[in-house]
């Protein structure tokens, strides 16, 4: 009898310790997934994805799946699992009275599979930082927000809430205050910033090890900005200027953006090629914002009143759309073809830029004042535009969730569904690598391990 008891006790201990060794406790288990590997433009069938907390604990083929003790599981039945999308250029803005309306739009991003946004400056930094924290703590549904905080501009800023820069002291104070806000990068704007202060901001951020991107005063030289350490450039105007032999003589005339028609007319492919090589070598991130370019260039003729997302936008934000509509009508009656020309040329530059190795960022520029460029949907619009400009679906997706994290040096945490990476996962019914339009088959979104 005694021997038997010992035998059973021993067996029991062996079984328990085996269990402890083999059965990992996890939070969420996805079964029979087809993993979309954007980087290598391929899919991996019959995979499991084990999630623990905010991150991916392990992935592997179903037939090698160990036993897990999982709180929740979901059989994907072959559906596609892909890293969440990044919108690398959005805005939260419009003053105190629009804080709530901006906040209301946060949940629209994950509805379109966007799990991270890069906020390119506004006038509600404290609110944005508060949302950022709440989203991390899962008290608020929205994408993770990387933010620049307020923009730096000249003495008469184009946008409310910007920090005015007139001299070196202003620059140091501004960067001190941005550092104390713990922003993720610095955004420059060119409402009234002069070229000396523009260059000085780049040098100062470089010295402090802060990332800097944004607009450039049209009086400045793009190549000089790059040589001083500019980390990125928003929109295509400035690389266009850097690719025209007329740039210097037009600068002397002090035309501002008035020079853009001539710049596009004199665009030189060889100059552009040299510039792209340099941008690739120096790892300068270019955010083309093609989609908003298209929307704004058609603004005078397009009727947006029955847009499906318009009723999701608060009345206060809808009101901010009027300004651009008016200026589009003005531009049309004056015969300006600036936007159309910039749009057409921008589209033709994408393929050569990508081939030269320039890290391109998909960004929508969605936000108040940017008429009818809706949160979420507009990033799809940007990805569709990038494929229309000649990128493959995988290449276009790369500009969203691979180069996005790379801008912040965070590629080890995002961009693929692998062990140790953040569990921002979107589930699609159809393969997005076959056709970028398959983003429309989005079914579910997992934000930092949590199904939404
Ligand atoms: Zn913007």
- What DSSP element (H or E) covers 378? helix 377-388
Cα of 37 vs centre of ligand 1, distance in Å, is: 30
Smallest Cα–Cα separation from 363: which of 285, 415, 419?
285
Cα of 138 vs centre of ligand 1, distance in Å, is: 27
pTM of the model: 0.94
Cα of 161 vs centre of ligand 1, distance in Å, is: 14
Q: What does the pLDDT look like over 153-189, one tens digit per residue?
A: 999 999 999 999 999 999 999 999 999 999 999 999 9
Sign of CA dihedral 354, 35, 70, 11: negative
Rounded to whole angstroms, how far apart are CA atoms 59 and 56? 8
Cα of 93 vs centre of ligand 1, distance in Å, is: 11
Helices (H) and strands (E) in the chain, counts: 18, 17
The answer to whether residues 167 and 197 touch, using CB atoms and an 8 Å cutoff, is: yes
CATH numbers and ranges of domains, the chain: 2-82+426-451 (2.30.40.10), 83-407 (3.20.20.140)
What's the pLDDT score for residue 331?
Answer: 87
Question: Which two structure tokens, joined as six digits, stand for 50?
Answer: 């084990």
Cα of 234 vs centre of ligand 1, distance in Å, is: 8
What's the pLDDT score for residue 20?
Answer: 52
* pLDDT higher at 19 or 112: 112
Strand partners, 444: 427
Q: What residues are neighbours of ligand 1 (ion), with CB under 5 Å? A: 120, 365
For residue 16, name the pLDDT band (cuts at 50, 70, 90). very low
**Euclidean distance between the first and final Cα of the chain, in Å?**
56
Rounded to whole angstroms, how far apart are CA atoms 428 and 417? 14
Q: What does the pLDDT look like over 284-313, one tens digit per residue?
A: 999 999 999 999 989 999 999 999 999 999
Cα of 90 vs centre of ligand 1, distance in Å, is: 6
DSSP string spanning 162-219?
PEE--SHHHHHHHHHHHHHHT-SSEEE--SS--HHHHHHHHHHHHHHT--EEE---TT
- What share of the chain in percent tops pLDDT 70? 95
Cα of 314 vs centre of ligand 1, distance in Å, is: 20
Cα of 226 vs centre of ligand 1, distance in Å, is: 20
Cα of 220 vs centre of ligand 1, distance in Å, is: 19
Sign of CA dihedral 441, 443, 447, 448: negative
Q: What does the pLDDT look like over 325-376, one tens digit per residue?
A: 999 999 888 888 888 999 999 999 999 999 999 999 999 999 999 999 999 9
Q: What does the pLDDT look like over 67-82, one tens digit per residue?
A: 999 999 999 999 999 9
Which residues have CB under 8 Å from 224's CB, separation 6+?
A: 199
Cα of 81 vs centre of ligand 1, distance in Å, is: 30
Say if residue 132's pLDDT is above 90: yes
Cα of 217 vs centre of ligand 1, distance in Å, is: 15
Cα of 124 vs centre of ligand 1, distance in Å, is: 15
For residue 2, name the pLDDT band (cuts at 50, 70, 90). very low
Please state, rounded to an integer, the average pLDDT across all residues of the chain: 95
Cα of 365 vs centre of ligand 1, distance in Å, is: 5
Q: Is 77 exposed, middle or buried (0-12, 13-18, 19+ CB in 10 A)?
A: exposed
DSSP string spanning 18-41?
HHHHH-EEEEEEEEEEEEEETTTT
């Amino acid at each position: 009898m005694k021997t038997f008891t010992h035998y059973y006790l021993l067996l029991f201990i062996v079984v328990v310790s085996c269990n402890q060794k083999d059965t990992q406790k996890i939070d969420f288990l996805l079964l029979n997934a087809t993993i979309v590997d954007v980087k290598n433009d391929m899919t991996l069938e019959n995979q499991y994805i084990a999630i623990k907390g905010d991150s991916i604990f392990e992935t592997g083929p179903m037939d090698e799946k160990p036993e897990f003790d999982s709180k929740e599981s979901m059989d994907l039945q072959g559906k596609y699992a892909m890293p969440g999308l990044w919108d690398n250029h959005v805005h939260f803005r419009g003053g105190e009275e629009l804080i709530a309306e901006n906040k209301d739009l946060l949940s629209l991003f994950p509805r379109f599979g966007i799990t991270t946004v890069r906020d390119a400056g506004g006038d509600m930094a404290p609110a944005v930082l508060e949302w950022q924290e709440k989203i991390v703590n899962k008290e608020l549904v929205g994408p993770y927000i990387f933010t620049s905080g307020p923009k730096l501009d000249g003495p008469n800023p184009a946008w409310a809430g910007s920090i005015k820069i007139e001299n070196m002291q202003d620059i140091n104070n501004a960067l001190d205050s941005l550092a104390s806000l713990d922003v993720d990068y610095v955004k420059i704007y060119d409402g009234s910033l002069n070229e000396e202060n523009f260059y000085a901001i780049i040098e100062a951020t470089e010295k402090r090890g802060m990332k800097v991107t944004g607009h450039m005063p049209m009086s400045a030289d793009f190549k000089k900005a790059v040589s001083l350490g500019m980390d990125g450039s928003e929109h295509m105007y400035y690389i266009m200027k850097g690719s025209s032999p007329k740039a210097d003589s037009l600068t002397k005339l002090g035309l501002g953006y008035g020079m853009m028609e001539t710049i596009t007319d004199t665009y030189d492919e060889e100059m552009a090629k040299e510039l792209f090589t340099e941008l690739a070598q120096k790892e300068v991130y270019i955010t083309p914002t093609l989609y908003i370019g298209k929307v704004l260039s058609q603004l005078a003729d397009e009727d947006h009143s029955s847009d499906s997302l318009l009723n999701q936008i608060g009345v206060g934000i809808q009101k901010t759309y009027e300004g651009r509509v008016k200026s589009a009508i003005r531009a049309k009656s004056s015969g300006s073809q600036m936007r159309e020309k910039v749009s057409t040329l921008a589209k033709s530059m994408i393929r050569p830029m990508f081939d030269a190795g320039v890290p391109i960022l998909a960004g929508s520029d969605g936000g108040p004042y940017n008429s009818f460029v809706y949160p979420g949907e507009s990033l799809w619009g940007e990805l569709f535009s990038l494929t229309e400009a000649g990128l493959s679906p995988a290449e276009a997706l790369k500009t969203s969730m691979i180069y996005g994290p790379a801008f912040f040096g965070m590629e080890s945490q995002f961009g693929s569904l692998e062990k140790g990476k953040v569990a921002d996962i979107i589930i699609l019914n159809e393969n997005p690598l076959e056709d970028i339009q398959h983003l429309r088959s989005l079914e579910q979104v997992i934000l930092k391990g949590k199904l939404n």
